Structure 1
Amino acid sequence: MKHIVCILLFFVGLSVSAQKVAVKTNVLYDATTTLNLGVEFRVAPKWTIDLSGNYNPFEFSDNKKMKHWLVQPEARYWLCEAFNGHFFALHALGGEFNVGNMDLGIFPSTKGARYEGGMYGAGIGYGYQFILGNHWNLGLEIGAGWIHANWDKYECPQCGEWQGSGKKDYFGVTKAAVSIIYIIK
């Protein structure tokens, strides 16, 4: 609990010293029914710190589910100025998942099975923000890197006997974003 309080105080301190703070949502995640919210703080004229959280609690017909939570902190270096134009990024990620009866390409196959576990990773990214108005931006970003996942496999998507454990290292896209951004000045 002490660590969480220290992290929150750190971000509050950043927001006090920063001249700009932005809140955002990634519409690509929204399209997958994943609820998400991001907050970005300017910490220097060309540097920002972004923290996004994603959560999907939904289950669909035929026992299909892509339940997960994910946190992605990111440091961004802007070529012009913060919240304007091109940027390069370094991000980390971590979360847990419960996926069943879907073919996502990351796991061997979740058709007729359920995978439950955790993941962590890191990557680099490139993005661009378009200024739409005094407080509104449109952000685009693509990132690539590594994700390590550990899971337990179960017999069927909803219930079933444990069938073993597995792990996988994935190299590829680790972030994709089309974000609607509101900048608080």
Structure 2
Amino acid sequence: MRHIRIQFIFILVFTLVSGVLRSQEAIPYRLYDPIPRLAVKSNLLYDVSLGLNLGVELKLSKRLTLDVPVMYNPFTFKDNTKWKNLTVQPEVRYWLCESFVGHFFGVHGHYSNFNVGNIGFISGLKDHRYRGWLAGGGVSWGYHWLLSPRWSMEATIGFGYAYIDYEKFEAPKCGLKLNEGTTHYVGPTKIGLSLIYFLK
């Protein structure tokens, strides 16, 4: 089930990106227009996972922007199922044409506090709960296309590293602590399909 969902997300993102690449000549580029300078955004893929998220992106120069998304999920679901986290993932982006137009490459860092468990479709989380924090960084690629002067969309994917410090518990509420430790993760660190609104 987990592999099917991951494959669906990748197919969705890359189908949209492919369509954009085929039609990019029709996009009304803003050739070095000083506006826009500030955008707010929401990652629709995170919205589907019931996570609250909001990001801001600030233009630093003609080809550089700073993107700062924050993700928050405070909810506990039925049978003590948890996907709680508070995550921030700032990223500096270099745009091949100009800020907020076309392709970009990014370098990001991330930090998260998490409390997750009793999630049946994820291996290792069905019978246990993990609480802790992680930190790391990575690189990304993305594409941004305009819908109107104020609205746009963006698809992005990133890979990188995370150092994870955790405590492991039994899944039921007030379950016993089983152990604690650290681990290292290398793999996808971000995926996004974001709806964007330009403030100015």
Fold shared by both chains (TM-score > 0.5): yes
8 Å Cα contact 2:80-2:171 kept in structure 1: no
8 Å Cα contact 2:167-2:181 kept in structure 1: yes
More strand by percentage: 1
- Paired with 1:90 and 1:32, the residues of 2 have a C-alpha distance of 24
1:33-91 per-position Cα deviation (integer Å, ceiling 9, x unaligned): 00000000001000000111000011122221111110010000000010010000000
1:136 equivalent to 2:154? Answer: no
Residue 18 of structure 1: CA displacement? Answer: 8.4
Q: How many residues align?
A: 167
1:65 alignment partner, one of 82, 90, 100:
82
1:161 alignment partner, one of 176, 186, 189:
176
8 Å Cα contact 1:18-1:44 kept in structure 2: no
- Paired with 1:39 and 1:79, the residues of 2 have a C-alpha distance of 20
Q: TM-score, normalised by structure 1?
A: 0.86
1:53 equivalent to 2:78? Answer: no
1:145 equivalent to 2:160? Answer: yes
- Paired with 2:152 and 2:35, the residues of 1 have a C-alpha distance of 18
8 Å Cα contact 2:142-2:157 kept in structure 1: yes
Q: TM-score, normalised by structure 2?
A: 0.79
Residue 166 of structure 1: CA displacement? Answer: 2.1
8 Å Cα contact 1:23-1:181 kept in structure 2: yes
- Paired with 2:35 and 2:144, the residues of 1 have a C-alpha distance of 19
- Paired with 2:181 and 2:97, the residues of 1 have a C-alpha distance of 44
8 Å Cα contact 1:99-1:115 kept in structure 2: yes
8 Å Cα contact 1:53-1:70 kept in structure 2: yes
8 Å Cα contact 2:36-2:198 kept in structure 1: no
State the match for 1:12 in structure 2. Answer: none
Instruction: Give the secondary-structure state (helix, strand or coil) at the position aligned to 2:90.
Output: strand
- Paired with 1:44 and 1:158, the residues of 2 have a C-alpha distance of 50
- Paired with 1:150 and 1:52, the residues of 2 have a C-alpha distance of 22
Distance change in 2, residues 1:119/1:61 (3 Å): same
Structure 1 ranges of 4+ moved more than 3 A = none
8 Å Cα contact 1:146-1:171 kept in structure 2: yes
- Paired with 2:137 and 2:150, the residues of 1 have a C-alpha distance of 30
Distance change in 2, residues 1:157/1:100 (3 Å): farther
- Paired with 1:88 and 1:141, the residues of 2 have a C-alpha distance of 9
* Residue ranges of structure 1 left out of the alignment (5+ in a row): 1-16
Residue 156 of structure 1: CA displacement? Answer: 2.7
State the match for 2:4 in structure 1. Answer: none
- Paired with 2:174 and 2:50, the residues of 1 have a C-alpha distance of 23
Instruction: Give the secondary-structure state (helix, strand or coil) at the position aligned to 2:93.
Output: strand
- Paired with 1:127 and 1:28, the residues of 2 have a C-alpha distance of 15
* Residue ranges of structure 2 left out of the alignment (5+ in a row): 1-33
Distance change in 2, residues 1:104/1:121 (3 Å): farther
Residue 31 of structure 1: CA displacement? Answer: 0.4
